[in-house]
Amino acid sequence: MQFWLRPLEEASDPIEDLKRLINEAGKSLSDEDVLLGCPLNNLCLEMSPIDDGFRQRVNHVYELWQEGLARALRIGQAKGTVTLTIDAMDCATFLVASLAGCRGLAKNAQSRDILSACAKNLIRYLKTLRP
């Protein structure tokens, strides 16, 4: 999670930073990483229906991720690099779900191409967040 949040802590342009992070994430994943998927998402999918305490702890990590992205988007809104027409938390929730879903689809398909297609379209979406 620090990979996604630390660079955004003081970001004046979170859209550019997120685009860069998405590209970096795709390049840094090994073939094995693609095949295994996102460890957090794997835990969420496997353990949530089995152990509520575990589900709550995983959910807390997702909430921290969402809150960090929302905070960065709000900073971008204040600095004029992100449109004021979005709800930052709603957008952050969508981004976290998209990132987790991209890894899940790529894992299931065992395909880096799926991951690349998701990344390309997430970046396209981020561009729509400009004022």
CATH number for the domain harbouring residue 32: 1.10.357.10
Q: Is residue 6 part of a domain?
A: no
Q: Is residue 19 part of a domain?
A: yes
> In one letter, which amino acid is 38?
C
Q: Is residue 4 part of a domain?
A: no
Q: Measuring CA to CA, how many Å separate 130 from each of 30, 53, 82, 114? A: 32, 39, 5, 26
CB 17 within 8 A of CB 129: no
Give the global pTM: 0.92
Q: pLDDT tens digits, the chain, 131 residues: what are they?
A: 788 888 888 888 999 999 999 999 989 999 999 999 999 999 898 888 999 999 999 999 999 999 999 999 999 999 999 999 999 999 999 999 999 999 999 999 999 999 999 999 999 999 999 99
Residue owning tokens 């709800």: 87
**Burial of 96: CB neighbours in 10 Å, binned 0-12, 13-18, 19+:** buried
- What is the structure's pLDDT at 2? 81
